[in-house]
Amino acid sequence: MPATTPAHDPQVCNAALVRAFDFLGKRWNGVILGSLTQGPLGFAELRRAVTGISDSMLSERLSELAGLGLIAREVDPGPPVAVRYALTGSGAALAPTLGALTEWAGEHLPAAGRCDGQA
């Protein structure tokens, strides 16, 4: 008896994609993760890298990303005490996807302000 291919179910196929865009579509998440692809950054460095984000929103997003296991908060006891944020393995696994989205946007979406045109 030949094996049958399961019927295509758009609801099942889209569930993971919907979750991904719910997460990446949340303002600042992708930009914060993208900023960390070059290496660990401190809070002030991230604040400068993510144009337009408030301190409280950055703190909230960093807590959320850490809670999801995508970034790690690294504390150097100093002195002085220094806190840096770095991608975990799960966060680093997003880097190629973020790079592909960045490339696609550069080719297919019009420049729209904030950091377009920055080096």
Q: What is the pLDDT of residue 5?
A: 66
Q: Confidence class of residue 18 from pLDDT cuts 50, 70 and 90?
A: confident
pLDDT at position 117:
42
| CA proximity to 87, closest of 118, 41, 24, 50 | 41
Average pLDDT of 3-9?
67
> Distance of CA 78 to CAs 42, 47, 75, Å?
14, 22, 9
Q: What is the mean pLDDT of the chain?
A: 88
Q: What is the pLDDT of residues 33-43, one digit of tens each?
A: 999 999 999 99
Which domains are seen in the chain, by residue range? 15-108 (1.10.10.10)
What local confidence, expressed as pLDDT, does residue 118 receive? Answer: 45
Question: How is residue 92 written in tokens?
Answer: 């680093």
pLDDT (0 to 100) of residue 116? 45
How much is the average pLDDT of 72-86? 94
0.85 cut: is pTM over it? no
